[in-house]
Amino acid sequence: QKEVEQDPGPLSVPEGAIVSLNCTYSNSAFQYFMWYRQYSRKGPELLMYTYSSGNKEDGRFTAQVDKSSKYISLFIRDSQPSDSATYLCAMSAGSGGYQKVTFGTGTKLQVIP
Amino acid sequence: GAVVSQHPSWVICKSGTSVKIECRSLDFQATTMFWYRQFPKQSLMLMATSNEGSKATYEQGVEKDKFLINHASLTLSTLTVTSAHPEDSSFYICSARGEGYGYTFGSGTRLTVV
């Protein structure tokens, strides 16, 4: 079993839809959770960063962490064609700069105009 | 915000030659940088953790002599792929943690060995 599981998709939605992206994990030591967006042939770009359980909102993006279920989500409201990309969840046990980060495989999202 | 610059963005080299990839933190000091490799439709695979002023820590299965990592300063880490072979063709990405939160990635280097 992988430490982080993420459905690779692809996920196709119409413009304006609410998108839900999810990851599950098995390592209970993970406390820091991140979502990255990666366009084709580019490096990942940090979207959201959360610590422990709870919700965090930033514009059209909302990140949720449920540590009891080992489940994290990213919601995108009013999705736009420019949101079409691969979304990677990532997590680490600590916040130190040396901490190893474990990534999901990424979910490819396509928003259709 | 934290910016990580990675060069070159793409490179084509002949089999048997060596290629150097640079990763620079532009507006922050990065004691630790990470090097990843990404295959098509797969996630980022951590290759090694690069620590300023000391030897890199390689992940299991990554050849130290093939993927040479140097972290000579707090803002620069380099990855050299030695004696490259076609199977080394991949997308290589560096990252570093800036002040505050999260890990900032470079824009990646697409290496093609012919």
- Percent of chain B whose pLDDT exceeds 70: 95
Instruction: Give A8's contacts in chain B (Cβ within 8 Å).
Output: 41
Confidence of residue A79 (pLDDT cuts 50, 70, 90): very high
CA distance B52 to B104: 17
Chosen from B43, B57, B75, B99 to mutate, greatest number of chain A CBs within 10 A = B43
Q: Is residue A15 within 8 Å of residue A80, measured between CB atoms?
A: yes
* Amino acid making up residue B99: E
Q: Which residue in this structure is represented by tokens 């990839």?
A: B21
| CB neighbour list of residue B87: distance below 8 Å, 6 or more residues apart | B113
CA distance A86 to B50: 26
A14-60 pLDDT tens trace = 999 999 999 999 999 999 999 999 998 888 998 988 888 889 999 99
Q: Output B29 or A78, whichever has higher pLDDT.
A: A78
CA distance A30 to B79: 28
If you average pLDDT over every residue of chain B, what do you get?
90
For A4, the token pair is 């982080």
CB contact under 8 A, B44 and A34: no
- Assess A85–B contact: CB distance below 8 Å, yes or no: no
B76-111 pLDDT tens trace = 999 999 999 999 999 999 998 765 556 889 999 999
Chosen from A7, A41, A61 to mutate, greatest number of chain B CBs within 10 A = A41
Confidence of residue B5 (pLDDT cuts 50, 70, 90): very high
How wide is the angle at C-alpha B84 spanned by C-alphas B81 and B88, nearest 5°? 85
Q: In 3D, which of B4, B61, B60, B67 has the Cα closest to residue B33? A: B4
User: Is it the case that residue A98 has pLDDT exceeding 80?
Assistant: no
Q: Provide the 3-class DSSP secondary structure of residue A70.
A: coil
For A17, the token pair is 């839809």
SS3 content of chain B, % helix, strand, coil (to 5): 5, 55, 45
CA distance B75 to B90: 24
